Amino acid sequence: MRGIICTLLILFGAWTHATEKKPTVAEAQSFMDDVEAELARLGVEASHAAWVNANFITYDTEILTSKATERLLVANMDYAKQATRFDGLELPADLARKFKLLKLTITLPTPSDPKLAEELTQITTRMKGVYGKGRYCREDGTCLSLGELSATLASSRDPEALLEAWQGWRTISPEMRKDFTRYVELANQGARDLGFKDLGDLWTSAYDMPGKDFQAELDRLWTQVKPLYESLHAYVRMKLRQHYGDEVVPKDGPIPAHLLGNMWSQTWSNIYPLVAPASSDPGYDLTAILQERKTDPIQMVKYGEAFFTSLGFEPLPDTFWERSLFTKPQDRDVVCHASAWCLDNIDDLRIKMCIEINDEDFITIHHELGHNFYQRAYNQQPTMFLGSANDGFHEAVGDTLALSITPKYLVDLGFLNEEPDPSKDTGLLLRLALDKVAFLPFGLLIDQWRWKVFSGEVTPESYNQAWWALRLKYQGIAPPVTRSEADFDPGAKYHVPANVPYTRYFLAHVLQFQFHRALAKEAGQTGPLHRASIYGSKKAGERLNTMLEMGLSQPWPDALAALSGETSMDANAVIDYFAPLKAWLDEQIKDQPKGW
């Protein structure tokens, strides 16, 4: 009797499954229409709340921003889970892409169990809180913030002071280790609920190719730029050894991490005075020029806007000038970190900066406006396609325009009477390489470590060991003192506890040079790539705009082809740009060992 009942239950289950109504394409389209409308509404609401919070930092605006953001994230995750019922349904290409992106835009998937979802949210909030409130406190009770410790690393040349600052910041992260371990478990579960193997699989699936193929792409790009990085590394190591001595810097080993002017050794431009060539004077001082011309913050932004209008883009809307933040208010705290916004997904464009009249902010303004003009260019796309072709494109576009701030551009603006002699270029290229080239391996390794953690290849028992193994492999740097698993050095980098994917920055540092090379060619530039500027070229502007308007509607190789004619990322553009510097570096280190 029991066997008969079991058989009947099995047959009933098979019958009900067979008679379930399969979803249709029309139902999928209707579902996606509702999703796009609601996510657009919640996104605009969250953007306005975030803008107010960034410009009026109070307890209440933080609460309002948190709630608005939570509503958006919860809705996105809920819709992504609902969308799984359409898996396997043959859909039109654009609709299928929207369903794919609905899942892939989620960087922190929460488990289906509400209690576990709440636990994951609490953990990530707590880890960010630990980082944000982090202070290094000395035995005498003096406590130093990240900004103060970073200032020491940037300006001090005392090895003991540098070591204290470097070690001090890393005292804030060991308490994250337990939370981070649980975060990995819960986020992986959330990714599996969406049909992915783990969180790393979800992240790498966002690049229009299988994760394994994407990893191979990253390896190929790194192989292209590694010789340039090795030459820069060897030169910097030689100059640091000359300054600090053989007891501090080895002749042929990794560079101690605390000597490179940055808390994470990700950019080295702060040590430029130690490594500058004899002919380091570029022949002009952009900061002095701007100040002598009595340039004000609005005029700084007007210069940036004029760059884009010279390419054929429409001027910024009046609301941009009415609603942006250009200077730091005297009556309240604001987030001064530069950022570009489009609050209504149409043309409510804004930047938020505390502009200083100097060369750095002049470059930053051009970069941020690159985001704004990108945002406006794709504003005719549906909600799911509002974004850059992949997450590296947005940053790359802003940096591409900044690469056109060359002596030629400054002559066109009337800042210089003529371009300085090419003999002045070495110092300019070296300073830029200490920023751009030095960053490449760091931009790559952060997620290399996390993907190994998410997959289980790296276990909690070897978090720190694996971290430093990758930093040695890619960067050729080593900790200045012994580290152990009592430490949790990955947590001392914001993007790790904050769950922010990092490979986008590596891609941006490759793509910006590829974009610049293609646009310079379109503009008819025939000289050295590092001297080219696309300012005033309508042809380059038209080529750029064609790609910008595509947004996220097509796979990134198609967007890349629209701008460059190429369907593969090519880090050889970095090599082309820095070719004169590479030759100079190799001459300087011809008697020095390379590698580590």
Catalytic positions, please?
337-338, 367-368, 371, 395, 495, 505
- Classify residue 98 by its DSSP letter: H
Distance CA 305, CA 301 (A): 6
Distance of alpha carbon 564 from its chain centroid, rounded?
22
Contacts of 529 (CB under 8 A, 6+ apart): 516, 517, 520, 573, 576, 577, 579
Distance CA 542, CA 563 (A): 9
Grouping H, G, I as helix, E, B as strand and the rest as coil, residue 120 is helix
CB of 505 within 8 A of CB of 395?
yes
- Classify residue 77 by its DSSP letter: H
Distance CA 490, CA 496 (A): 7
DSSP string, 302-331: HHHHHHHHHTTPPPPPHHHHHH-B-S--SS
Distance CA 480, CA 260 (A): 12
Run of H or E including 478 = strand 477-478
Other Cβ atoms closer than 10 A to 101: 18
**Cα–Cα distance list, 339 to 321, 336, 342, 347, 506 (Å):** 15, 9, 10, 16, 19
Distance CA 295, CA 357 (A): 7
Q: Which two tokens stand for residue 529?
A: 């790539």
DSSP string, 255-283: EEGGGSSSTTSS--GGGHHHH--TT---S
H helix runs in 404-501, sequence order: 407-412, 425-455, 463-470
Distance CA 592, CA 252 (A): 8
